[in-house]
A and B are shown apart, each in its own frame.
Chain A
Amino acid sequence: MPILVKGLKMLQMRNVNAYYGRVQALKGISLHVLPGEIVCLIGANGAGKTTILRSISGLLDVLDGEIRFNGTRLTDLAPDQIVRLGISHVPEGRQLFGPLTVIDNLRLGAYQRYRRSNRSQIQKDIEYVFQLFPLLEARASNLAGTLSGGEQQMLAIGRALMSRPKLLLLDEPSMGLAPMVAREIFEVIKDLREGGTTILLVEQNARMALSLADRGYVLETGKIIIEGPSAELLENREVKRAYLGKGRKGFFE
């Protein structure tokens, strides 16, 4: 086991190239996430944000380059092995198990832990998720497919938390949600960071993402074009022009 030192890189991608068929989706991506950070990826549709998350969680095989998590190479591992290392991915579009109940979705989130740890511990974690998202508790025995968009997003995050991840990959948590609900989700993300979870966040709403994150990377057609602390990016002329909208105020302020 590598020893966790504050400042040591938790996740590191070096020169990663990945393809969808013949289309190169990632071109030499290098980035890192430190323990305790929230890092966000911003960029237009098709810039490669989701692809980066998919290559970390093992859903997409990368052609070359290296991805390491706390020193372990991820590039040859299957998604379930990567979950075991402590990475949990909340995919784009929630991807819940629609025909299963809310509580079964949460239990499946802890699938790996059923074999080794005791059930009371898992029950406690389910209660913790219900604390974060009280709406879910009322619907515990409903089928996940019948939930509203906001509830589905909460369940997707809750399910990912059930594996007790060290690093949470969040793909567009606010997509398709009413501003009120989106804000609620972002409040929870803040709480999670306070609780010590490291987060790599992909978000269309750049202002919302940067107001939450410590650092950010800006992507364009599979390449990182700008990177830096959030405060800097919020002031960056290029970022302002392309992603924040001139003079417009986000509803978050």
Chain B
Amino acid sequence: MGGSGILQLIFSGITIGSIYGLVAVGFDIIYNCTGIINFAQGEFVMLGGMIMISLVGAADLPMWISFPIAVFAVTLIGALFERLCIHPLKKPSILTLIIITIAASILFKGGAMFAWGKQTFSLPHFSSERPISIFGATILPQTVWILGFIAVVVLLLAFFFKATMVGKAMRACAANRSAASLVGVNVKEIVLLSFALSAAIGAVAGIIIAPIALMDYERGMILGLKGFSAAVLGGLGNPVGAVVAGFLIGIVEALCAGLLSSHYKDAVALIVLLAVLFIRPSGLFGSLEASRLKKF
């Protein structure tokens, strides 16, 4: 395989890797605010994609209207999930909460199967499908859309966490929850917000990837798992590390699929996950000291 072939693989790795990165950011936001790994994160991605497909396909709405509606719907689902399943518990252990999120993911998946059936759906590309050629490799315009959306989401998040009071309160919760409540931050509100925000990010990821990767009721689990691998590789709780790790996993996965066999593609993320846990549990960008203090 020539250089342009490798470049082609790297491009497709970057595309899918950016999605893993977004999913991983969703994991990190909830982890930072609550200490929970939300295993329903992948389902938010699936729900985003599926709701968008229904709005565009069945309801025949234009893309630019469907997009915010789908994101809003999933955000609402994320918030309701927190209110109904997480919020009512009095002093739950972290482990209980994690198991609840696993149960929720099964529930979302089952619900999606009832609603949409088992077939795979596609979403039209956001603009033309004519490939653009760069250095002998080609990329789809949708890839450009995806990278553009990622950039916008990351910038918005950076602004939110650095420049707004609510964002700072979220970081304060992540740093020290009881101190945050002592300065008057309503921690339960922040937890709700973290679920809503993660759901919204997941929905965006699901919507922008749907034209390339297609979507079905089961897609959430594998995307969630790979996003989780990226979150761990980036150092749990570190959103910047998550995005970088997402790209890394995507590229390694694409190279593996192209150079070895696409059968092993899905194993890559899991091998990376295991390797990180064995060799460097704090992740590439996490500090060892901080990881010793973490429960998970």
Contact = CB atoms under 8 A, between A and B. Distances in A.
A32 to B, nearest CB: 22
Interface string B169-204: 101100110111111111110000000000000000
A108 B172 contact: yes
Given A104-B168, A108-B169, A97 B181 contact: no
Interface string B153-171: 0000000000001001101
Contact of A89 (B168, B182, B187, B188): B182
26 contacts: A58-B181, A78-B181, A78-B186, A79-B181, A79-B182, A79-B184, A80-B184, A80-B186, A88-B182, A91-B178, A91-B179, A95-B178, A95-B179, A96-B176, A96-B179, A97-B172, A98-B175, A100-B175, A108-B172, A108-B180, A109-B183, A111-B184, A112-B184, A159-B183, A162-B183, A163-B184
A59 interface: yes
Interface of A: 57-59, 78-80, 83-84, 88-89, 91, 95-100, 104, 107-109, 111-112, 114, 159-160, 162-163
B229 to A, nearest CB: 25
A162 B172 CA distance: 16
Contacts of B183: 83, 108-109, 111, 159-160, 162-163
A104 B163 CA distance: 10
B18 to A, nearest CB: 26
A160 B179 CA distance: 10
B182 A111 contact: no
Given A79-B184, A108-B180, A160-B182, 13 more contacts: A79-B178, A79-B181, A80-B186, A80-B187, A83-B183, A91-B178, A91-B182, A98-B176, A99-B175, A100-B168, A108-B169, A108-B183, A114-B165
Contacts of B187: 80
Contacts of B165: 107-108, 111, 114
Nearest to A145: B175
Given A104-B168, A108-B172, A95 B181 contact: no
A108 B172 CA distance: 8
A88 B181 CA distance: 11
A78 B187 CA distance: 10
Nearest to B175: A97
Nearest to A156: B179
Nearest to B90: A61
Interface centre among B165, B182, B184 (most CB of A within 10 A): B182
Nearest to A169: B182
Contacts of A107: 165, 168
